[in-house]
A and B are shown apart, each in its own frame.
Chain A
Amino acid sequence: AQSVTQLDSQVPVFEEAPVELRCNYSSSVSVYLFWYVQYPNQGLQLLLKYLSGSTLVESINGFEAEFNKSQTSFHLRKPSVHISDTAEYFCAVTRPGGYQKVTFGTGTKLQVIP
């Protein structure tokens, strides 16, 4: 079985400051990892994903995440946040091999303070 833990339910940060949203996973086999973002009153949308290859993956709006197998982590970072980044961020994990259930974390609400 796989699981994903997002320990921080809320993260307040001042505008233009850096932020890290933590995600740890548990799986006995190899994994695929995703970060989804949910803006207020909207559905989730993919931010970035790690499937294989380079352990550092980037999104078009300046976020990046690094797959760390030894620490079973996939933390999301941004060097300078904007007000528009205020949203809830979900880490998700699944396994290779045909259809595999996607397990979502409980979410981290990022509040960017002006």
Chain B
Amino acid sequence: NAGVTQTPKFQVLKTGQSMTLQCAQDMNHNSMYWYRQDPGMGLRLIYYSASEGTTDKGEVPNGYNVSRLNKREFSLRLESAAPSQTSVYFCASSESSGLSTDTQYFGPGTRLTVL
């Protein structure tokens, strides 16, 4: 039982390049999330998916797209990376499709640097 896994762990991009961050969970959770963590700003929600086939914008969605490929996988794509997207990205999941009481389970993060 690996929990939430993310790939890659580290990535360096040049401005304008694209890439996809992968996330998978093996806990049969319905909801999945993408956050970014920046110094002094805590975690900010980029996108979330309450169930397979649905996605919704979070607090900072500009410059990102997501795909809920199936119940297990939720990917985050940067189409044209910008230095402002340098951050640590966390994927998380929670059991239900819409209970705010749920605990969120986080992956280990992807450290992205955009030059």
Contact = CB atoms under 8 A, between A and B. Distances in A.
B74 interface: no
Quick one: which of A44, A90, A98 has the most chain B CB within 10 A?
A44
Main SS class of interface, B: loop
B50 A44 contact: no
Size class of the A contact interface (CB-based, 8 Å): 20 to 34
Interface residues of B, number: 25
B40 A9 contact: yes
B97 interface: yes
Contacts of B107: 43
Contacts of A102: 45, 100, 104
B42 A41 contact: no
Nearest to A51: B101
Given A90-B43, A101-B45, A41 B108 contact: yes
A56 to B, nearest CB: 18
B4 interface: yes
Quick one: which of B98, B100, B101, B107 has the most chain A CB within 10 A?
B100
Contact of A99 (B44, B97, B103, B105): B97
A94 B98 CA distance: 12
B58 interface: yes
Interface in B63-115: 90, 92, 97-101, 103-109
Interface of A: 9, 32, 34, 41-46, 49, 51, 90, 94-102, 104-107
23 contacts: A9-B40, A32-B100, A32-B101, A41-B109, A43-B4, A43-B107, A44-B92, A44-B104, A45-B105, A46-B104, A90-B42, A90-B43, A96-B100, A98-B99, A98-B100, A99-B31, A99-B50, A99-B98, A99-B99, A101-B45, A102-B100, A104-B42, A104-B43
The 3 closest A-B pairs by CB, nearest first: A43-B106, A99-B98, A100-B100
Given A43-B106, A99-B31, A107-B42, 19 more contacts: A9-B40, A34-B103, A42-B108, A42-B109, A43-B107, A44-B104, A44-B106, A46-B104, A90-B43, A94-B100, A96-B100, A96-B101, A97-B100, A99-B100, A100-B100, A101-B45, A101-B58, A102-B45, A104-B44
